[in-house]
Structure 1
Amino acid sequence: MQTKKSRGLILYNRPFREDDKLVKIFTESSGKHMFFVRKAGKSRLSSVIQPLTVADFILKINESGLSYIEDYQEVTIFKEINADIYKLAYASYIVALADAAISDGFYDAHLFSFLVKTLELMDEGLDYEILTNIFEVQILERFGVWLNFHECALCHRVGLAFDFSYRYTGLLCPKHYDKDERRSHLDPNIFYLLDRFQSLHFDDLKTITIKADMKKKLRLFIDDIYDNYVGLRLKSKKFIDDLDKWGQIMK
């Protein structure tokens, strides 16, 4: 068992016997691990083990079993996210997505930084739906899915009115539409935006404005991609899907 100091994000916690808890933390230096907290309700750790909390931790990491939290400092809580049911739903979804994308104990400092930065921007008031889309698109490779939204899969031309082909696992330009009669027949602007999302720097996000109807088109297509290529069904995603039905009442 190693003692390490690392920044970490609380993914979730759950009861474990009486008042004990198991706490899943995504650490910057050692990946995800499950931590045991004894008598969590009375513990000085009770406030810092809540989901969507970031802190600098001193941890005892066990590679083959439960790990332990020794101490913490520099706590960050996303107040705006926690105060808004919509932001909280989307934030919980990308956290669950990151959890599903890599194995426990797998070192991925880039994903950690990307996740925390996305949460910070949500908390600052940037468009949480578009931030979620960017996050979904950029972590597809961690699920073993490599999609090119920049060029035609057959002739590699760029900058055209593309459509998506599941048959060719990529885009088709107008010259090659006839190669797949069952192509998606979608708005070409979807693929222009997804191409930007794949390499977008967060500073550029402040200059992007996307209308509500295009957001819906993006949402439906990204859902199709995850259904067809990833096969992931997260409870947090279903919660988002149900938000439009009753979210306004809760809000």
Structure 2
Amino acid sequence: MARQMVTNFNGILLFRRDYRERDMLIKFLTEEYGKKMFYIRGARRRGFKMAAELLPFTMGEYVGDLRDEGLSYINSVKTVQYFEQISQDIGLNAYATYVMNLIDVAFPDNQPLGRWYQQLTSALQLIDQDVAPALIANVIEIQLLGVFGVQPELRWCAVCGRQDLPFDYSESYGGLLCQQHWHLDPHRLHASQAAIFYLRKFSVLDLSKVHSMQVKPTTTTQLRHILDEIYNNSVGLRLKSKRFIDQMGSWYQPLKPRDDDDSKQS
């Protein structure tokens, strides 16, 4: 028998969709219950009382009628936080949309997601502060690989377990190869040691502890190439929001220019 309850919950608004003539469907990632779809009656009517609290790129505490099956309902909004810079900047908007899309695709609805609520909250807060949005997206991509059924070996060499030699990434061997075994895969990615360093570091990075992040542009480009190869060939995922980021290319300039001459993280 389907269960329903009226309760407080914390949620990040993942997306909104018009429904019928005057209504809306809104999907939240809730801290307590995972992803849930809510039916908002009259949300498109002029003067709807919760209109400002249910805008894109918001998170807050809500009171709702939550159901295990079918649509849930929001009764009221207790507190709300707006990601204002994300809403105003097309580039930040693109990266925030992408990481939320990844979370949405990776997990089924109505399943508690543990640490992922806090990890997404931290990601959106950092992107809203224009803290290396492309790198924040990389962290989410890398850490979701296991959820997508691709669990690359990033701790040591997939063949011998050594950790003391230079590494490269091998899709054929499902992770890192040490220099002693590079000959086993002529199609390894020939990545720089800096890119491999960040690939490994980002796989365990807690975004709630990050305050700034700077990586050399050449390393950022290589890291992007590695992840594109993995997502295209091993995950088989190509989201519309990711294609938009690729199309942004060089025309997008972030809100605050950054000095990327040195690699730093704090």
TM class by shorter chain equals over 0.9
The alignment's C-alpha RMSD in Å is 1.6
Query: 2:122, 2:208 within 8 Å by CA — same for their partners in 1?
Result: no
- The counterpart of 2:126, out of the listed 121, 124, 129, is 121
Unaligned ranges ≥5, structure 2 = 254-266
Give the TM-score of the pair, scaled to structure 1: 0.93
Question: Equivalent pairs: percent with the same residue?
Answer: 35
Instruction: Give the structure 2 partner of residue 7 of structure 1.
Output: 10
Q: Which runs of 4+ in 1 moved over 6 A?
A: none
Give the TM-score of the pair, scaled to structure 2: 0.88
Instruction: Give the structure 2 partner of residue 30 of structure 1.
Output: 33
Query: 1:134, 1:198 within 8 Å by CA — same for their partners in 2?
Result: yes
Shift of 1:203: 6.3
Query: 1:87, 1:128 within 8 Å by CA — same for their partners in 2?
Result: yes
Shift of 1:204: 5.9
CA shift in 2, pair 1:16/1:9, >3 Å: same
Query: 2:119, 2:207 within 8 Å by CA — same for their partners in 1?
Result: no
Instruction: Give the structure 2 partner of residue 192 of structure 1.
Output: 197
Establish whether residue 211 from structure 1 lines up as the match of residue 216 from structure 2. Answer: yes
Q: Aligned partners of 1:209 and 1:36: how far apart in 2? A: 41
Shift of 1:245: 5.9
Q: Aligned partners of 1:189 and 1:245: how far apart in 2? A: 23
Query: 1:149, 1:192 within 8 Å by CA — same for their partners in 2?
Result: no
Q: Aligned partners of 2:53 and 2:193: how far apart in 1? A: 45
CA shift in 2, pair 1:107/1:207, >3 Å: closer
Deviations 1:79-122 (CA, angstroms, capped at 9, x unpaired): 11112111110000000001011001011131111101110112
CA shift in 2, pair 1:122/1:173, >3 Å: same
Query: 1:31, 1:105 within 8 Å by CA — same for their partners in 2?
Result: yes
- Paired residue secondary structure (1:41): coil
Deviations 1:159-207 (CA, angstroms, capped at 9, x unpaired): 4221111221111111111112222222122111111111123366446
Instruction: Give the structure 2 partner of residue 136 of structure 1.
Output: 141
- Paired residue secondary structure (1:138): helix
Query: 1:12, 1:50 within 8 Å by CA — same for their partners in 2?
Result: no
